[in-house]
Amino acid sequence: MTADLRAVGVTKSFGGVQALAECSLVARAGQITGLIGPNGSGKTTLFNVMTGYERVDAGQVFLGEQVITGAPPPRVFALGVGRTFQLTRVFPRLTVLENMMVPAQRGRTARQHRQRALDLLAFTGIAGHADALAGTLSYGQRKLLELAYVLVADPAVVLLDEPAGGVNPSLIIHIADRIRELNKDGRTFLIVEHNMEFVMGLCDQVTVLDSGAVVASGPPEEIRSNPRVLDAYLGRDAEADADD
């Protein structure tokens, strides 16, 4: 069901700005990998490159042993890689249930697809809004809808761009619980997030980006005390805390 998602030596520039510099990252099959770094460090660009929204200047992206570099987004999705966006992107003039029906159906009848959609709405806790227009949902509910409709097609790997960003604390716990439960089935997650408590409590591995390059990679407890990470991202206060 699941496979490693790897970026190997990926480089990407926009004009004179280098967003990614020979960046390599592995989201291991069945694990939850966190991707952290300061604003502008290239996290979302890496997501875009891995999901076909941006072309690489150099480097390769692999899903398992398959090269997916340069594959367009529908192809990447069909291969089993789904993603959400930093700013939620639901279809505002479709109902919530219609949003759930948009993703391509892989080997399912329409009835099975609909049942899966309804089950996922119940799973994420927004089933009561099935007939509401997605544009009328609150920000937190949109985050849940985005998570739900990415899951409809059972992607092997799910990339979440700031799933806890801008949502209330109780909803953050709810989202983390849902991710943990999905991960128990062996689904691979790669998560960009600024909420350190969320990342460190949820992820098996954490990779840190700074200026488009990987600064460190390892288990959360190792990352928490890595001097380069403290210097580049977590800051001196955190270092002092770590010393304590």
Q: Regarding beta strands 213-218 and 205-210, do their DSSP bridges make them parallel or antiparallel, or are they unpaired? A: antiparallel
By the 8 A CB rule, do 217 and 206 touch? yes
- Binding-site size for other proteins (CB under 8 A) equals 65
Q: Is 160 in the site for other proteins (CB under 8 A)?
A: no
Residue 9 found at the interface with other proteins (CB under 8 A): no
Q: Cα angle at 206 between 33 and 87, to 5 degrees?
A: 65
Contact present, 131 and 97 (Cβ < 8 Å): yes
Nearer Cβ to other proteins (108/224): 108
Q: Determine, following the binding rule CB under 8 A, whether residue 103 of this chain makes contact with other proteins.
A: yes
Segment contacting other proteins by CB under 8 A, of 11-19, 29-37, 138-146, 196-204 = 138-146
d(C-alpha 71, C-alpha 27), whole Å: 18
**Rounded Cα distance, 81 and 113, in Å:** 18
The answer to the question of residue 66 lying near other proteins (CB under 8 A) is: no
The DSSP H or E segment spanning 202 is helix 196-202
- Taking CB under 8 A as the criterion, the residue among 8, 29, 101, 238 binding other proteins is 101
Radius of gyration over every alpha carbon of the chain, rounded to an integer in angstroms: 18
Binding mask 111-130 for other proteins (x = CB under 8 A): xxxxxx-xxx-xxxxxxxxx
Contact residues for other proteins, defined by CB under 8 A: 51-53, 72-74, 76-78, 82-83, 85, 89-94, 97-98, 101-108, 110-116, 118-120, 122-132, 138, 140-141, 144, 149-151, 153-154, 170-171, 174, 177-178, 181, 185
